[in-house]
Amino acid sequence: MKKVLEALAEMQVKMPVGTIIMILLIAFIVSLIIFLTYKNTYTGVMYNPRFNVSLIMITMITTIVMVVIGSNISVSLGMVGALSIIRFRTAVKDPRDTAFIFWCVVSGLACGTQNYTVVLIGSLFICLILFIFKKMATNITKYVLIIRGKNVDLKKVESVLADNLNSYLCKSKSITSSDVELIYDIKYRKKQDDKVLALLSGISGVNTINVVASNTDTMG
C-alpha cells in the first residue's frame, strides 16, 4: 500500500498554483480570440452560438489535459487509453468548423506546454488572415439572379446588367407564350445591390426578382 501511495504521489502534477492559473488564463484569452474570430467571420446560413462556445471549452479542456500529462509518460499513456473510449456521433458538415476545432486543440496543446509566444502570435496571425479573406469575399460576391415575369423586355434586362454589374452570365432562359424566367450568375459589390434591383424591377413585365447568394441567403 505504501508503494502504491508513493507512486500516486509521484504522478501528481508538480506545478505551482500560480503557474496553473496563468496557463488557464492565457488559454482562455486564446480561446476568446478564436470565439470572436469565428463569430465575426462566419458567412454561413445559420450561426450556431453553442458550437462557438464549445470552441472555448475544447481549448480549455485540451490545456488541462496537457497540464495533467506534463512529462509523465505513465500518465500520458493512461490518458490516451481513457480518451480512446470516447466516441462522437455528431458529424461536422462544414470543413471550416473542423479547422476551428483543430485550431482549438493545437492552441490547448501549446498553452498546456507553456508555449505562449507561439500560440498568441499564431492565433492573431490566423485571425488577421480570416478577416482579410472575409473582407475580400464581401466586397465582390457571386449571386444567382432569377427574374420572372410576362413579356419581359430582354434587351433592357441585358442592358441593365451590362451597365451595372462587374460580370454576369446567363445560365438559363425559359420563355413561354405568357411567362419568362431568366437565371444569371452575377457578381457585384454589395453597395450596388439596391440600384440594380431597382432598375430591374422598373422594367416592363418584370413581376419578381430573386437574388440568391452562394450560401443560399435570399436577398430580394
Residue 124 lies in a domain: no
Output the pLDDT for position 76: 59
Q: Are residues 19 and 105 in the same domain?
A: yes
For residue 214 the three cell numbers come to: 452562394
Q: Are residues 91 and 145 in the same domain?
A: no
pLDDT (tens digit, 9 = 90+) per residue, 3-37?
544 554 555 556 788 888 999 999 999 999 999 99
Q: What percent of the chain is modeled with pLDDT above 70?
A: 74
In this prediction, residue 74 has a pLDDT band, given cuts at 50, 70 and 90, of low
Q: Are residues 104 and 181 in the same domain?
A: no
Residue 202 lies in a domain: yes
Residue 163 has pLDDT above 50, yes or no: yes
Residue 9 lies in a domain: yes
Output the pLDDT for position 151: 80
Q: Are residues 173 and 80 in the same domain?
A: no
Q: What percent of the chain is modeled with pLDDT above 90?
A: 25
Residue 133 lies in a domain: no
Number of domains in the chain: 2
- Residue environment code for 67-89, b if the CB has 16+ CB neighbours within 10 A, otherwise e: bbbbebeebeeeeeeeeeeeeee
Q: Are residues 106 and 145 in the same domain?
A: no
Kindly list the strands in the beta sheet with 180-189, ordered across the sheet, starting from the edge strand earlier in the chain.
167-175, 180-189, 140-149, 206-213
> In this structure, are residues 38 and 55 in contact, taking their beta carbons and an 8 Å threshold?
yes
Residue 146 has pLDDT above 50, yes or no: yes
Instruction: Look at 5 and 198; give whichever has higher pLDDT.
Output: 198
Phi and psi at 175, nearest 5°, equal -125, 125
Instruction: Look at 82 and 57; give whichever has higher pLDDT.
Output: 57
pTM exceeds 0.85: no
Q: Are residues 167 and 75 in the same domain?
A: no
Output the pLDDT for position 220: 44
Residue 56 lies in a domain: yes
Short-list 31, 25, 83, CA closest to 53: 31
Residue 80 lies in a domain: yes
- Per-chain mean pLDDT for the chain: 79
Q: Are residues 161 and 209 in the same domain?
A: yes
| Residue 182 Cα distances to 153, 203, 205, angstroms | 11, 14, 13
Q: Kindly give, in sequence order, each residue whose CB lies less than 8 Å from that of residue 134, ignoring residues fewer than 6 positions away.
A: 40, 41, 43
For residue 171 the three cell numbers come to: 445560365
> In this structure, are residues 51 and 97 in contact, taking their beta carbons and an 8 Å threshold?
yes
> In this structure, are residues 111 and 21 in contact, taking their beta carbons and an 8 Å threshold?
no
CATH code where residue 199 lies? 3.30.70.260
Residue 187 lies in a domain: yes
Residue 201 lies in a domain: yes
> What's the one-letter identity of residue 145?
L
Q: Are residues 144 and 110 in the same domain?
A: no
Q: Are residues 209 and 110 in the same domain?
A: no
Give the structural domain span for 185.
Answer: 140-213
Q: Are residues 66 and 101 in the same domain?
A: yes
Q: Are residues 98 and 145 in the same domain?
A: no
Q: Are residues 145 and 107 in the same domain?
A: no
